[in-house]
């Protein structure tokens, strides 16, 4: 374990950072967070579960996610619900900072869970570079309140889908059962599709279709 800071002083939390009046700087930090969440999901197979501006450190133009002891693996019954909450927390913070080039929560979710490396990248720098190409799309398409509403609806839709799926599975507690639990869809690989890996979005689509 390494100390993150300088001269005995810990690096500031994202909440404490004084951002310059620069949309480019704010966007770079935002995309750094998105890329780190994707790498945590894809490489470490983890969802933080309590991600916010209070447990992200900024040091030497890099961000570091801390307090990961409560992080959950993909197999956790509520991993995707926790991911949705993490995403909405991050978008809410940057929205409060006046950042206008936000991904919607759905786009953030897809950028985290998708197996499409060609579209989203694999390394940190590659992920950031690919998302930067969306800047005009992010700026021109979204109005602040529209993105906020999309975030809320996406979070609520996830809860509704989980509850509906649980009801179809026999009335288990919707707070502790995720989409597709108890079926083959709960695995990272699907025999019906020749053991091709499937991402979280595809699992949810198949769950809703059942």
- 67 labelled catalytic: yes
Measure the CA–CA gap between 204 and 163, rounded to whole angstroms. Answer: 13
- Tokens 């991911």: give the residue: 83
Measure the CA–CA gap between 63 and 11, rounded to whole angstroms. Answer: 10
Pick the catalytic residue from 7, 27, 43, 50: 50
For residues 57 and 16, the answer to whether their CB atoms sit within 8 Å is: no
For residues 25 and 19, the answer to whether their CB atoms sit within 8 Å is: yes
Pick the catalytic residue from 27, 67, 86, 116: 67
- 81 labelled catalytic: no
Question: Which are the catalytic amino acids?
Answer: 50, 67
């Amino acid at each position: 374990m390494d100390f993150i800071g300088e001269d005995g002083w810990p690096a500031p939390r994202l909440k404490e950072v004084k951002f310059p009046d620069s949309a480019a700087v704010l966007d770079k930090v935002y995309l750094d967070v998105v890329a780190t969440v994707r790498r945590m999901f894809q490489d470490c197979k983890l969802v933080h579960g309590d991600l916010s501006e209070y447990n992200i450190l900024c040091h030497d133009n890099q961000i570091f996610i801390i307090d990961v002891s409560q992080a959950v693996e993909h197999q956790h019954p509520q991993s995707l619900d926790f991911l949705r909450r993490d995403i909405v927390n991050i978008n809410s913070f940057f929205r409060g900072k006046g950042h206008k080039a936000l991904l919607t929560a759905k786009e953030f979710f897809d950028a985290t869970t998708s197996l499409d490396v060609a579209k989203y990248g694999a390394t940190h720098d590659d992920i950031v570079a690919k998302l930067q190409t969306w800047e005009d799309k992010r700026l021109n398409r979204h109005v602040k309140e529209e993105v906020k509403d999309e975030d809320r609806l996406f979070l609520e839709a996830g809860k509704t889908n989980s509850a509906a799926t649980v009801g179809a599975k026999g009335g288990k507690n919707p707070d502790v059962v995720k989409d597709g639990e108890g079926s083959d869809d709960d695995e990272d690989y699907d025999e019906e599709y020749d053991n091709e890996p499937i991402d979280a979005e595809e699992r949810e689509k198949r769950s809703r279709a059942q």
